[in-house]
Amino acid sequence: MSTSRLFSIHPLVLALMAAAPAFAQTDATETKKNATLKTVKVEAAALNTSTEDTGSYTIESTKMATGLNLDLRDIPQSVSVITSEIMEDQGMNIISDALRSATGISVKATDRGRNGLSARGFEVNNYQIDGVPTISGNVGIETANTAIYDRVEIVRGASGLLSGAGDPSAAINLVRKRANSTTFVGKVDISLGSWDHRGGTLDITTPLNNEGTVRLRAIAGKNEQDAFIDLENTENTVLYSVLDADLGDNTQFSIGGSDERTKRNGVYWGGLSFWYTDGSRADWKRSKTTATTWNQWDTEEKTVFTTLDHQFSNNWIVRANASYYEQSEYSNLLWITGESNKQTGLGMNAYPYLYLSNPEQTQIGLQATGPFSLFGRDHELTAGFTHSKHEGGWDNGGEPLSEIPDVGNFNLWDGSYPEPVWDTPYIGSRETTTQSAAYTAARWQFTDSLKFIVGARLSNWEMDAEAAAWNPEAYTINHDKLVTPYIGAIYDLSENVSAYASYADIFKPQTARDRNGDYLDPLSGESYETGLKGAFFDGALNASGAIFLIQQDNLAVTDDGYFIPGTNTPASYGAEGTESKGYEFEVYGELATDWDISLGWTHYSAKDADDNDVAIEHPRKMLKLFTKYTLQGAWSGLSLGGGINWQSEELRKGTNPATGIEEKIGQPSFTIATLMAQYDINEQLSLQLNIKNVFDENYYESSWGTFTYGEPLNAKLNLAYRF
């Protein structure tokens, strides 16, 4: 790859950041954050690092990307953090709300049960909880309640060093809340909102001994609401508890668990058709549904986790952790497909489906992190081992025994469609995936201004699939000794601004086989990135700009004229795949005393080897802005905020059923505006109003040749009491 190619993407981000050193010399106003930058971060209290009650839109450091606890400006990749304050100010109920505000992340509804996530032209499926890579089922982790999480961390680009297998898009880490308070504290939230929303959360932390060295935190929340879409009702309940204990001055122990249940009634599967049979574009009401009165899409997530940290006298920290995650899904749904006659409403097809799944994952890990001296300078090293086992698959509820009636006049659809009688369930698929890996990374302080981060992961990956309806023959895919390298360089241009460059790698196994019957090697995702980062006002404000290039190769394509031996299945070979390039910049934190901002801009292109656009359901340009100002004087206690999310046109095309001609069907560019106001009635009681889609923008999100409308104008009022 030539240097000119990498730097030809767009010079704007470099122009914007060129002024950063001068900006850094501006006298910093007194800030309520009081964050302090440090050269080396090896903290015994790393387990309980929190953004709660800081009032901050940014964070000083994170372990994302490398496993080393580094300042944001010392991480040679793009990292965003959605803090507790951001989530509270914008009234974010579920993780996808937070991701919709994150730089570079595109969230699009697949239907009313699931979302499709993308970053830099690739799907986002790499999730972590407290830094542990975690499975995401058919209904993704992005639907989880935010009540139990302190923050959401996102690293964009390849993340194979810590994530293992996946796409070179982004990794998302959900950081749980901890029992940090040594005194009894609590908070009660009660909310009311549009579409008959009712919600409440109780959050209590208490010490269990006089010294406060053993602490318990418990959170219970429940939300229920209808929707702007007919028939739909959703109920969510979450329970969470964690015990944190200081087993001496240098040892911490934590154990906890959660149970989250979501009942989705009248939720539709698939989406609405783009067309009428005459080739004209369908014009549905935003309340239109394809669901029935018996549609049901229920999920439950259970987690159990434990962590033990010990800091030695030489400032090395050893962490051992173990976790268990389980998701169960029951979905009894009707999919309505095809196009209808504009006048008669006839022509749609019905496909009932009963789906059951129960994926689960067990994981153990061991990590050691600490400083060391060499050649007269201080450096830092982390090394670890992780092993996980994921048991996945799903069951089909069986074939309907009863007759499947016609849809009839879809223009008059009210969901009163007969529920089928189901036959005995059968196994759709069963597979067990195990990953074992050892990894290491070191931050080398080469000079006072120049640092290198060098790391690698050695992985063994295996999938064992049983014979089932969707894979008639059992098979095993095994990849041993896969090496995932990581290289980064950071150069301090000034006290506040750093320049960086990095190379990161990730792999993704695939099930395609070649003409010899062998499984293809994994997809290889390589991420190149360079940019500038700045930390200002004692760390209260973080800014960054990046240009990037991502290549994913060894993509399975049909090997014309050849078949997998002993089958009629065409063979495949590995070819060059998708290339993505673009630039991003973001600003998070406090611009001035009591003035907070989160700002992100993304612009990229992504094409496959045949020069076709990929990820066409997602926009190529995104602007995400939210700002809040807390008034003083006579208006003390009042905070006002607002923001916009703008995106460019989506590139999706579809074939007109009447003409057979491919036409644009992607959502044109649009802007969603939000407003918020919070008033502190006293030190304990506050009232907050959030208004979303202020101008009632009518927009849709597409997938599978269907689309789903976005939420119209809506509001939520929240009353919070702290004690």
Instruction: Tell me the DSSP string of 471-490.
Output: BSS-EEEEEEEEEEEEEEEE
What six digits make up the tokens of 280? 């004209």
627 near 600, Cβ under 8 Å? no
For tokens 């057979």, the residue is: 660
One-letter identity of residue 723? F
Spatial strand order of the sheet with 115-119 comes to: 106-109, 115-119, 122-123
What six digits make up the tokens of 642? 């607002």
451 near 443, Cβ under 8 Å? yes
18 three-state secondary structure: helix
Q: What is the pLDDT of residues 525-548, one digit of tens each?
A: 999 999 999 999 999 999 999 999
For tokens 């009022």, the residue is: 717
Query: How buried is 343 (Cβ within 10 angstroms: 0-12 exposed, 13-18 middle, 19+ buried)?
Result: exposed
Question: For residue 315, what is the DSSP state?
Answer: S
Residue segments in the chain with a per-residue pLDDT below the cut of 70: 1-48
CA angle 694, 696, 699 (to 5 degrees): 125
Output the pLDDT for position 397: 83
Other beta carbons within 10 Å of 478: 12
What domains can be seen in the chain, in order of their start residue?
3-722 (2.40.170.20)
372 three-state secondary structure: strand
Q: What is the pLDDT of residues 223-275, one digit of tens each?
A: 999 999 999 999 999 999 999 999 999 999 999 999 999 999 999 998 999 99
CA gap 334, 289 in Å, rounded = 11
Pairing of strands 706-709, 126-129: unpaired
What six digits make up the tokens of 681? 């009635």
> In sequence order, which ranges of 3-80 are alpha helices (DSSP H)?
3-7, 12-18, 20-24
548 near 583, Cβ under 8 Å? yes
Pairing of strands 170-176, 126-129: parallel
For tokens 């008959």, the residue is: 196
**Bridge partners of 238?**
221, 260
Q: What is the pLDDT of residues 357-393, one digit of tens each?
A: 999 999 999 999 999 999 999 999 999 999 999 999 9
Q: What is the pLDDT of residues 144-195, one digit of tens each?
A: 999 999 999 999 999 999 999 999 999 999 999 999 999 999 999 999 999 9
CA angle 641, 643, 646 (to 5 degrees): 180
CA gap 538, 54 in Å, rounded = 14
620 near 647, Cβ under 8 Å? no
For tokens 């006290």, the residue is: 495
Output the pLDDT for position 48: 56
Secondary element (H or E) of residue 12: helix 12-18
CA distances from 139 to 111, 116, 329, 353 (A): 11, 10, 8, 16
pTM of the model: 0.91
CA gap 564, 569 in Å, rounded = 6
What six digits make up the tokens of 109? 């509804």
155: nearest Cα among 451, 414, 488, 643: 488
Q: How much is the CA Rg of the chain, to the nearest whole Å?
A: 26
What six digits make up the tokens of 426? 């059968």
The dihedral sign for the CA sequence 94, 96, 97, 101: positive
116 near 161, Cβ under 8 Å? no
Query: How buried is 583 (Cβ within 10 angstroms: 0-12 exposed, 13-18 middle, 19+ buried)?
Result: buried
80 near 154, Cβ under 8 Å? yes
